[in-house]
Amino acid sequence: MAKGIVYLVGAGPGDPGLVTARGLEVLRSAEVVVYDALANPRLLREARADAELVCVGKRGGCHTMRQEEINALLVAKGKEGKRVCRLKGGDPFVFGRGGEEALALAEAGVDFEVVPGVTAGVAAPAYAGIPVTHRGYSSSVAFVTGHEDPTKEASALDWARLATGVGTLVFYMGVKNLSQIVERLVSNGRPAATPAAVVQWGTTPRQRTVTGRLGDIAERAAGIEPPAVLVVGGVVALREELAWFERRPLLGRRIVVTRARAQASDLCERLEALGADVVEMPTIRIEPPADFAPLDRAIERLPSYDWVVFTSANGVDAFFGRLALAGKDARALPRVAAIGPATSERLRAHGIRADCQPARFTGAELVLALSAREALAGKRILLPRAANAPEPLRKGLEEAGAAVDEVDAYRTVIEARADAETLEQLVEGRVDFVTFTSSSTVRGFVEAVGRERLGALSTAVRFVSIGPVTSETARELGVPLAAEAEAHTIPGLVEALLRLV
């Protein structure tokens, strides 16, 4: 049996982009992933499809497993010969109880490795515009647990030294004891006028920062709940100039992305870069066609075509996959047309530059663009696309005199389900926007939500479409649109959202 190993991996403070390269490498190769609630669930998508995922909870005192049980689980999996990723929020060795887990593994003779992570005590203040050290304000910093009851007689903390001997104090998990922490610091000599801040859900779209003075921060932060850090020191005053993250235009806006999960990353990343809280609700999935034979026969007849017209990146990928299986490459293609920039970009990834792309990204405009290049009468056109795709493009080409062979390159399958939490957020108005990138995503959304519940969705939810064909489908199905992208692309869709805020 192979020898097991347990990796104690810091997942970072919340922003999935802050996990280290080594952490991702371990996560992607692990057979077992044991994760905390504070580890961003988006990271779990990086795990192997066959990986065993074990949630051990641990948030705000509510533990799915006790620490001793977690230790035993890690030891057991290691002894089974498994490659285990213990994914922990922040850094494993900074108030993460990683030291206890490492000791348990060492005592049991199980190999382990520590992969440090970005700790919330540095990252949350940084995202709030607060450097924990600064030559003009503080040359020392202390990271302190806020879980210890400051009123107990035998405190392990030297409150006098913390109050007067350290420039910046960062308290982890200190919200519940905030008033007592303030009292201890002030009574031990820290001026009540010292700038202070509480940063909740740091580095995430839910980030909220409350600032004040040490003397009034408990009152100002009364509505803040865990997870949060308390920062005390002159550096907090720099936030007024350095607060960068909370100035993002979509910060805190919850946006549902209905695209197929495999394709959603571009839109999700663009929205998250603008501060949005993205909820993925894939209402479609992309699958191979029922039969590849028609596409394969068309590929064998490529020399007989004047044009190959691609209407999506999915069609490009499916076509070139079958082209390679046929022992051919891009040299076999005639002239190529693409309906929009995303399709053209995918063609370029396969070494092809589209000969024709319309200025507006619709089927009708593509017909006009092709007709402007040459008369289409008698031309043979191959149209590899989704099964059951809308007919206007084929009809437009045929009306222009072309002979069109339309073949299925892939299928768009409706995902007629939605998780209970997302549905609850939609009904209660805790979603700001829902985005649609195709007619299929609209149909999938309506089926997932249910026509009978569509009208019950909060009026606070606004729907945004990528283009006219998608918008027409939305109107047909009774989905009220707040906006349609002027440029029928992912960047155009993002611009449409920005115009609404």
Residue 419 CB-density burial (10 A; 0-12 exposed, 13-18 middle, 19+ buried): exposed
Global pTM value: 0.81
Residue 85's beta-bridge partner residues? 7, 33
Whether 62 has a pLDDT exceeding 50, the answer reads no
Which CATH number applies to 287-414? 3.40.50.10090
pLDDT of residue 479: 94
Instruction: Phi first, then psi: give them for residue 113, nearest 5 degrees.
Output: -140, 140
Lowest mean pLDDT among 137-151, 245-259, 392-406: 137-151
**Which residues are catalytic, by number?**
36, 58, 173
Q: What pLDDT was estimated at residue 61?
A: 42
Report the 10 Å Cβ neighbour count for 45. Answer: 11
- Counting residues of the chain whose pLDDT is more than 70, the rounded percentage is 98
Q: What is the CATH number of domain 122-247?
A: 3.30.950.10
CA–CA dist 46, 261 (Å, integer): 13
Query: Burial, 67: exposed, middle or buried (Cβ in 10 Å; 0-12, 13-18, 19+)?
Result: middle
- Alpha helix ranges (H) inside 274-354: 293-300, 313-325, 341-349
Residue 388 has a pLDDT of 79
402 and 377 Cβ atoms separated by less than 8 Å? yes
Q: Mind listing the pLDDT tens digit for each residue in 317-361?
A: 999 999 999 999 999 999 999 998 889 999 999 999 999 999 888
The secondary structure of residue 334, as a DSSP letter, is: -
| Start-to-end Cα distance in the chain | 58
Question: Which option is the CATH number for 5-117: 3.40.50.2300, 3.40.1010.10, 3.40.47.10, 3.40.50.1100?
Answer: 3.40.1010.10
* Fold entry, domain 254-283+415-499: Rossmann fold (3.40.50)
* Residues contacting residue 112 through CB under 8 Å, at least 6 positions apart: 5, 6, 7, 8, 78, 102, 105, 106
Angle at 55 between CA 50 and CA 61, to 5 degrees: 170
pLDDT digits (tens, 9 = 90+) for 455-471: 778 788 999 999 998 99
Domain with CATH 3.40.50.10090 in the chain: 254-283+415-499, 287-414
190 vs 178: CA distance, rounded Å: 15
- For the chain, where do the domains classified as CATH 3.40.1010.10 start and end? 5-117
Q: What is the pLDDT of residue 151?
A: 56
Residues forming CATH 3.30.950.10 domain(s) in the chain: 122-247
Residue position matching structure tokens 């959603």: 264
What is the phi-psi region of residue 400: left when phi exceeds 0, alpha when psi lies from -120 to 50, beta otherwise?
alpha
Residues 58-66: what's their mean pLDDT? 61
Cross-strand bridge partners of residue 62: 59
% of the chain residues with pLDDT over 90: 79
**pLDDT of 73 over the 80 cut:** yes
Q: Measured between alpha carbons, how far is 140 from 49 in angstroms, rounded to an integer?
A: 45
451 by DSSP, 3-state: which?
Answer: helix
pLDDT at 453: 81
Helix %, strand %, coil % of the chain (to 5) = 40, 25, 40
